[in-house]
Amino acid sequence: MAGLQDDARRRRWERRAEWPLTAAALLYLVAYAVPILEPGLAPAWATTAHVAGWLLWAVFAVDLAVRLVLSEDRWGFLRGHPLDVAVVVLPLLRPLRLLRLVTLLSVLNRHAADSLRGRVAVYVGGATVLVVVVAGLAVLDAERGAPGALIETYPDAVWWAVTTISTVGYGDLYPVTDGGRAVAVGLMVAGVALLGTVTASLASWLIDRVRDVEAEQQAATRGDVHALQAEVAALREELAARASSGLESAGPVAPGPERE
């Protein structure tokens, strides 16, 4: 009973913290992106963005700590939330915390996400956009100014991210730094996972369509059988009624002559 109460407390915390953390993720995106997109930013603003990023990271760390404390099975919670743990523990992966913005997309599209497949489509679409945006920022931050770097602008970074996450990889742009290659590895893994999710959703949709057609055919067959049974029963009743009326109209049979 105590475990159930602790899990209920954790779920209440998660529901209450969802929108504040979404706002924090938006602010973190701004604090993370502005210094990268504006390399000539004034030092004071750059410092402000840097401090704001770490303060918002601390908010995410506090959220994880509270959820961990409110969980009865803490090791199970950590095993079940590896992304949250990695985002807090590994500074390189902090931008992945922006995937919480997918919840914002699901709220805005809640009418289109009534079914499980609709929610999957929203999550996959939102996650793809966010991963591309953040990966472009991260690789540009790592590559800009490096010797032999090919990715020097954000449009080039986004183009590289799109070709990488889609597993196309034209090869005209690629990272040359260790940090950029680390981002590329994460993006490749995300691309495989997202493509697998899309493939699974499409396969599920096709299977459901086949089941619907089979169900319609079976329903039509059962309807035809019931209709035939009703017609046969009606014919039997009609024949029985005619036979009965025929016997009544013939009258009683006259007795034959008696034999001595």
Cβ-based neighbour number of residue 180 at 10 Å: 25
Q: What is the pLDDT of residues 163-201, one digit of tens each?
A: 998 878 777 888 999 888 988 888 888 888 877 777 777
Instruction: Express each pLDDT in 214-251 by its tens digit.
Output: 777 777 677 777 788 888 888 888 787 777 776 656 55
Q: Which of 134, 110, 140, 133 is nearest to 122 (CA)?
A: 110
Cβ within 8 Å of residue 132, ≥6 positions away: 158, 161, 162, 165
CATH code at 109-236: 1.10.287.70
What is the residue extent of each domain of the chain?
Answer: 1-95, 109-236
How many whole angstroms separate alpha carbon 131 and alpha carbon 137?
10
* pLDDT tens digits along 64-103: 899 999 888 888 888 888 877 776 776 555 555 555 554 4
